[in-house]
Amino acid sequence: MSTLLPQPRPERSQEEVMAAFESTPLFMKSLPEDAMDDPVISALQSLAHEGTPDEVADNFKDQGNDYFRGKRYREALGFYTQGVDAKPTDNVLLEALLCNRAACNLELKNYGNVLKDCSKALSLNAKCSKAYYRSALALLALEREEEALDCCDRCLAYDSENQGVRSVKGKALKKKEEKDRRVRERQERVRKEQEEKAKMHLAFQKRNLIPVVNPDGPSENPYSPHFDPADPTQETLVIPVFFLYPQYATSDIISHFIEDTPFSAHIAAMFPPEAPKPEWDNNSEYIAGGLVVYAMTCRKRLLKVGKNMTLKDVFQAAAAKEGQPKDGLEVKDGCLTFVVLPKGDVEKRWVEEFKRTRDGGSS
């Protein structure tokens, strides 16, 4: 006859052991949905609320402290809230609960709630250093440095050796100085931009230049009018210029046309006789010496640019005649536009077509 011996318990994983441990009501992290049907859980819940409001609140504070030390801030916050909700009559206890709850919210980055609880704590005790310290940290995180400094100063007025508050004040001062520096730099940039804009506006007026706003918004032009940095007087204008070749519906841009440079210098550099012709120049007509440049004013006057004329000379030629309405060259998207044509029949046909279109005639 065989003897029945006790069977060894099956081995369980660590996860299984912890799950069984946490299923015990005393050690549960959270209550199950049917908690009210469990007499053990109901008994434990009622036990937690037994006693005076101060005893109940103090019990919840101790539980919150345990969770806070374990860095389980959400659970700790819940216990501190239950302690506050117990409405303790001891203001020292209530102050501690509010400050501890603020510490949880500080870790959880709920800065608005930190400030609310610290404000309540200070209404109970105007010399609550923890409330000032945590308020200052929250305000610093919200980039409200001046208010953080105010909290620090109020605390240090009676608790001058508080190292935590002194440390926060140092950080707040550093951040405030950095922010003030950025504000000063931004203000200086704005001032310089406004000054440059006013100076450019005056330069345009002197040169009979008329800015034209694009109804579709500004185009992406990487170049813009500016003053020549090589000129110590900062009076020489540099402006982008389009050369249009209507014969072939193409164009070039001179990104930095200095106003006292003759047009002939640019034409010679772009179309030297010895260089290969541009790909689009089917008839090999675009050669320096055989080209003519035209400018159109705002009032549709056509100006023929002499080969030795500078941009500044054209500015003056574009001015309205005495007694006539304002006129000048249009600046569209920061650029001036000129037409370049071969001399002879191409030029003649283009001029005739321009005048016919301007005067509203038909071909």
Q: How far apart are CA 220 and CA 333, in angstroms?
A: 8
Regions of the chain short of the pLDDT cut 50: 1-2, 21, 24-27, 29-31, 33, 35-36, 41, 44, 362-363
Please give the class, per CATH, of domain 226-358.
alpha beta
pLDDT of residue 31: 46
pLDDT of residue 46: 54
Q: Is residue 289 classed as helix, strand or coil in its secondary structure?
A: coil
Q: Cβ distance 152 to 132 under 8 Å?
A: yes
pLDDT of residue 21: 46
pLDDT of residue 299: 93
pLDDT of residue 254: 95
pLDDT of residue 56: 96
Using the structure block, give the residue that is written with the tokens 């609310």: 116
Phi-psi region of 292 (alpha: psi -120 to 50; beta: other; left: phi over 0): beta
Domain 15-177 in CATH 1.25.40.10? The answer is yes
Give the domain ranges of the chain: 15-177, 226-358
Q: How far apart are CA 310 and CA 288, in angstroms?
A: 16
Whole-prediction pTM value? 0.60
pLDDT of residue 361: 57
Q: How far apart are CA 225 and CA 124, in angstroms?
A: 65
pLDDT of residue 222: 80
pLDDT of residue 75: 96
In this structure, is the dihedral angle defined by the CA atoms of residues 195, 199, 205 and 209, taken in order, positive or negative? Answer: negative
pLDDT of residue 218: 65
